[in-house]
Amino acid sequence: MYKVFVKEIPIILSTEKNIGAHYTTIPLKHARFKKLVKKINNGELLYVNLYHKNAEKLERFLRKKIKVVEAAGGLVYNDKKEILFIRRNKKWDLPKGKIEKGETHREAAIREVMEETGVQNLEIRNFLKTTYHVFTRNKKFRLKITYWYEMYSDYDGPLIPQPEEGIKKVRWKNFEKSQKALQDSYENIKLLFPEEYLTTHPNDRVSEV
């Protein structure tokens, strides 16, 4: 299953015909992807499932229908088990950026984290997952495919936001602050976190009122 986010609304691509009563299932061969994106942008569509029994054809369909920009980034932990966040476009995000020609996904992920945050001594621990979202560039739709890695760093020096990338802040956040940041983040970023980061204790919610 793939989730392609358009304005925080996921287009589902799956090998299952029925994924919920709210969803309209469209066979992949009948899907007009750009028209679906426009309907979501206009608020005309919320739940759609693009179906094909062959999982390999799902991403192939995406790459054929819309121009792809590939990126890589990191979910970075330190010795205190804090997580590295950036503040960009009035949202909390994770560092990531476009893969340059000749780079591997892993090389690009490390370079982008370093450039956007100033953090050094990065070590990739695991591949996390790939996320997908649609954005607009020069009035044309683009599909950003981002490869995410879990990283570790023992760096305790200054954090340096990259202003030319629109980054206003860089912060290490503990568990509780990470939970709060994710309430002001993107749906595709939330996919990278364990479930406990996405649910707050009832007492925490009361104290925020």
The pLDDT tens digits of the residues spanning 166-196 come to 999 999 999 999 999 999 999 999 999 999 9
Q: Which segments of the chain does DSSP mark as H helices, in order?
A: 33-41, 56-65, 105-117, 175-182, 187-190, 202-208
Residue 128: predicted pLDDT:
97
Residue 202 has pLDDT above 70, yes or no: no
d(CA 153, CA 160): 15
* Cα distance from N-terminal residue to C-terminal residue, the chain: 37
Q: What is the mean pLDDT of the chain?
A: 93
Residue 55 has pLDDT above 80, yes or no: yes
Residue 200: predicted pLDDT:
58
Residue 205: predicted pLDDT:
40
Domains and CATH numbers, the chain: 2-65 (no CATH), 75-208 (3.90.79.10)
- Tell me the average pLDDT across 40-68: 93
